[in-house]
Amino acid sequence: MSAPVEALRDHLAPIEDLKAAAAVLTWDQETYMPDGGAEARAQQLSTLHSTAHERFVADETGTLLDRAAEALDAPSPLDPDAALVRVTRRDYERAVRVPSSLVAELSKAKSQAQQAWKQARANDDFSHFAPHLEQLVDLSVKKAEAIGYENEPYDALLKEYEPGRITAAVVSLFDTLRDDLVPLVDALDEAAQIDDSALRGTYPQSEQQRFGRSVIADFGYDFDQGRQDVSAHPFTTSFSPNDVRLTTRYDEDNVASALFSTIHEAGHGLYEQGIDPALARTPLGEGTSLSIHESQARLWENHVGRSRPFWRHYLPRLRETFPDALGDVDLEPFYRAINRVEPSLIRVEADEVTYHLHVMLRFELERGLIDGSVSVNELPDRWNAAMDDYLGVVPETDANGVLQDVHWSQGAFGYFPTYTLGTLTAAQLIESIEDELPNLRAHVADGDFAPLLDWLRAHVHRHGRKLTAPDLLERATGRKLAADSWLAYAQNKFGGLYGLS
């Protein structure tokens, strides 16, 4: 490493430390902090975030970047020094374009909006949240204008989560997906419904916890470099590749809920644990985008965890764990129950197939908010009309409708499409993996996940942020992101389950 690159790294490392410290405090806030700690914690987090931001946008970062760039010689895209300069430059240019007054205004508006959203949701009163949402839309448009964009302001917001992608490409990908997805959902809706009553019973939390942990340890999740705790909303956070934390929540009446949430979060966690340790304490030392992150979670959750070979191996063990509830449940009914498709109101409870429609609805509405074609006041009506149109179910309250997700109260416009992008990415990855590892399903049926994890480590995990999502996927699968792999997978799997022709 040249001296200028080393100087850049030395400048960035303490900034990464500050961000990791903030992540520890956030993890604690969501798991163990008593309610009384909330006010002090908000101040502590605000201090850490603003200190990290100020250090990063300082002129010194720009100067060190220029010097480091001059010291590079004809680097390959995977060269760590070149990637460090490229990715840090991208982050830096984005960060310095947003005036610090706007950063402060947004941060204040977000914390007020989150309080208002919680109250509005508890009281089913959208009008209490509406003025805050209007303000966040307004400030987000200002932010997009400050950053700059290709075709529309939403491009700038999407890039925060998905560098390398633009809105128009997402729109056309989603159009292709929708064309085949809607007829599939309609056909599944008309077929005889699957009985999933076997999943309900009494499943003590301690046994659920032990079972879930043994499964993800089999995957390769390393409990010496991570842990799992309980939180209201499951999430994964990383303080370094050697300390990656998962959370989940338990429902003692349903065996599927915590198990699939555990597998999902472990997918995120395996990604972070697999990043090249040499990238730690640099801006490269984390997952490259939300869609790639989500692809890792969905791959383990759906393509592994909701597959027949997986349950051929684990159902006997699950039955032993819960002999009263599951003692006489056979593989096929169980496999069918965990793959039941049913249009529903709540995104986070949606099945694999209808999930995309929840995402598309949110994407269309938030893109409309940002380009001005949808107003905040008409949002509840637009929401309900789209639910009726896409899913054929309409929420009776805004709490179960437009107010259900936290994202907009956090000003996170551009986040929702990454869920579907991630699911499509997972299907495209698994198709390539099955080509390269023809015995994959047999390995899964033996509880041997090493070949799969090794492939993901080599093609996805170790790179950290060196490659953008489009570059990573093209290297890993030989083609750009498309909907066809997921559509073929869904038509085959769910067509079979529901006896469609």
**Looking at 16, 162, 265, 366, which residue is catalytic?**
265
Which of 294/405 has CB closer to Zn ion? 294
User: What is the closest distance, in whole angstroms, from the C-beta atom of residue 410 to Zn ion in the complex?
Assistant: 16
Closest to Zn ion by CB, 294 vs 366, is 294
Of 69-77, 100-108, 164-172, 296-304, the segment contacting Zn ion by CB under 5 A is 296-304
Least Cβ distance, residue 272 to Zn ion (angstroms): 12
Which CB sits closer to Zn ion, 56 or 221?
221
**Which residue in the shown chain puts its C-beta closest to Zn ion?**
297
CA separation for the pair 439, 40 (Å, rounded): 53
d(CA 394, CA 401): 8
Binding mask 244-283 for Zn ion (x = CB under 5 A): ----------------------------------------
Stretch that binds Zn ion, among 183-191, 212-220, 292-300, 351-359 (CB under 5 A): 292-300
Site string for Zn ion, 142-161 (x = CB under 5 A): --------------------
Nearer to Zn ion, 338 or 426 (CB): 426
Choose the binding region for Zn ion from 120-128, 243-251, 294-302, 348-356 (rule: CB under 5 A).
294-302
Q: State the minimum distance, in angstroms, from the CB of residue 496 to Zn ion.
A: 26
Q: How far is the CB of 355 from Zn ion (least distance, A)?
A: 11
Part of the chain binding Zn ion (CB under 5 A), chosen from 15-23, 107-115, 197-205, 289-297: 289-297
- Identify the H or E element spanning 217: helix 205-219
Closer CB to Zn ion, residue 286 or residue 294? 294
Q: How far is the CB of 358 from Zn ion (least distance, A)?
A: 14
297 interacts with Zn ion by CB under 5 A? yes
Number of residues that bind Zn ion (CB under 5 A): 2
Contacts of 273 by beta carbon, 8 Å cutoff, 6+ apart: 221, 222, 225, 226, 241, 244, 461
Buried b (16+ CB within 10 A) or exposed e, 350-378: bbbbbbbbbbbbbbbbbbbbbeeebebee
Interacting span for Zn ion (CB under 5 A) from 84-92, 286-294, 400-408, 479-487: 286-294
> DSSP states of 390-444 as a string?
HHS---SSSTTTTTS-SGGGGT-TT-THHHHHHHHHHHHHHHHHHHH-TTHHHHH
366 is catalytic: no
CB 88 within 8 A of CB 8: yes
CB of 264 to Zn ion, least distance (A): 6
Residues contacting residue 301 through CB under 8 Å, at least 6 positions apart: 260, 263, 264, 267
Pairing assessment for the beta strands 226-230 and 243-248 based on DSSP bridges: parallel
Nearer to Zn ion among residue 185 and residue 297 (C-beta): 297
Q: What is the 3-state secondary structure (H, E, C) of 30-41?
A: HHCCCHHHHHHH
CA torsion 461-467-473-477 (nearest 10°) is -80
Question: Which pair of structure tokens corresponds to residue 64?
Answer: 């060190």
Residue (of 160, 30, 42, 138) closest to 94 by Cα position: 160
Find tokens 């999502």 and name the residue.
469
- The nearest distance, CB 182 to Zn ion, in angstroms, is 24
Q: Which is nearer to Zn ion, 219 or 498 (CB)?
A: 219
Q: Which structure tokens are listed for 261?
A: 């949430």
Q: Residues with catalytic annotation?
A: 265
Q: Which residues contact Zn ion by CB under 5 A?
A: 294, 297
